[in-house]
Chain A
Amino acid sequence: MRRGDRWAIAAIMALLVLSFGVRALFAYFQRGAGMTAVISQDGMVYRRIDLLKVAEPYEFKVVARDGAYNIIRVEPGRIRVIEANCPEQIDVLQGWISRPGQSIICLPHRLVIIIQGRETEEDEEDIDGISG
């Protein structure tokens, strides 16, 4: 009887440890539920901003070569380009982006802002990409 009990306790312990393990593992895999704006210039990551942790709006300037620049404004949960010296102003005209998967691209300055993160259930509107 005593021996059996010991085994039972061991089994229960193992079960407990494992279930915590599984939980931790799942939590680890589910990581990145935030919303991170990744700003890159010519393929190099320039800055990462967790948009859900932005308290106060702020702006910064990304300078490429030959005086090419884009001024980016960050507000809680969203980001946009407010000024740039590119010819067509496509990035400025696009306005705010605020959902994972959305991106702003300034082709002449090789600037990309992309929002990464897990898509939430209510994001029914989400699309995989834009053609045109």
Chain B
Amino acid sequence: MRRRALLLTLTGAGIVVTLVACVLWAYWRHLDNQVYSQTAFLMGTSVELRVYGRNAQTAAARVFDRLREIEAKMSANLPTSEISQVNAAAGQEWVRVSPDTLVVVKRALAYADLTDGRFNPAIGPLVALWGIGTERARVPLPAEIAQRLPLVDANSVLIDETRTSVYLTKPGMSLDLGGIAKGYGADEAARILRELKVKGAFVNLGGNVYAVGSKPDGTPWRIGIQDPVQPRGALLGVVETGEGSLVTSGAYERCFVEDGRRYHHILDPRDGYPAESDILSVTIVAASSTDCDALSTSVFILGTEAGLALIERLEGFETILVTKDKRVLVSSGLKERLQLRNEEYEIDETR
């Protein structure tokens, strides 16, 4: 009799323990599958962040802190930023900057070299003149542009690595990291999220996308590519991707209309006008969002031929290029991963 009671007791206890374990496991899994989303306006754009994992919310807070820090250092619109200080001291003196700013300026200058000055961080005077994306956007007089072109000179941006300082040699010069700083922000966001070992995260700094880790269900990330001629939200296609960055640049992003003509925000430093490109939009996929950001702008200004030649010279970059005649050029590594959504476009198989 006693034996039977003992047996029952043990069975009961066993069931209870198993059930408690189940509950704990479910709760544990629930914590793991937690998702935290937040959108904020930073670095002149909307920043969308989605983090999966038990520490999602803390991780997101850390990322936003870091992005605010980068903005405070690199924004050309904040008078207190390091970049504004460098600009204010143009033609006068060296300005000490943080390692962050130095890294980004160096990277920007490397791209100026690679693109023969088409990508140019010294574009500041032209950006200010056109004011695209602001209330005072207007078409400048040819004389105004001509006056500023000599100031848009990447060779006159000097850096001193040992003193982490930057000097613009000509008075009136100014740096604008708008074509690269968002990429750096996305890279830094990804670095923090990896360090904090979140399960997965999706970062989108106004089109600079970084996917970290994996989604809770293990499926690949699906990133929509904006259709360059349709309203926002309409897709050209969808790219399936693992960890890494994807950045799209196009003439449609920021623009204004004057006397029936559209003027977009990607200025060609050679003539001071919005780049006359045969490209509608460029998407670059790579591990570094800083590189994707700078390259997407570079390729847009260079145009199809020179742009693709540049990509081929570099390693580790994939592209989707939409031309004005609605051809879609896709590099070999992306062909399998891109699904077109709009039948108006056709993948050009000749490349």
Contacts and interface: CB of A to CB of B under 8 A. Distances in A.
For chain A, what secondary structure do more than half of its interface residues adopt (helix, strand, loop), or is it mixed? mixed
A3 interface: yes
Given A14-B19, A87-B256, A93-B231, 11 more contacts: A7-B5, A10-B12, A11-B15, A15-B19, A29-B26, A90-B232, A93-B232, A129-B204, A130-B223, A131-B225, A132-B207
20 contacts: A10-B12, A11-B8, A25-B26, A40-B39, A87-B137, A88-B255, A90-B232, A94-B233, A95-B231, A103-B48, A105-B39, A110-B41, A116-B37, A128-B50, A130-B235, A131-B204, A131-B207, A131-B224, A132-B207, A132-B250
A88 B238 CA distance: 25
Contacts of B208: 131
A128 B9 contact: no
Contacts, number: 129
Interface of A: 1, 3-4, 7-8, 10-11, 14-15, 18-19, 21-22, 25-26, 29, 40, 42-43, 87-88, 90-91, 93-95, 97, 102-105, 107, 110, 112, 114, 116, 126-132
Interface in B205-242: 207-209, 211, 215, 221-226, 228, 231-233, 235-236, 238
B23 interface: yes
A130 B247 CA distance: 10
Given A129-B209, A131-B224, A131-B247, A7 B39 contact: no
A100 B223 CA distance: 15
Given A14-B15, A18-B23, A97-B233, A4 B222 contact: no
Nearest to B5: A4
Nearest to B246: A131
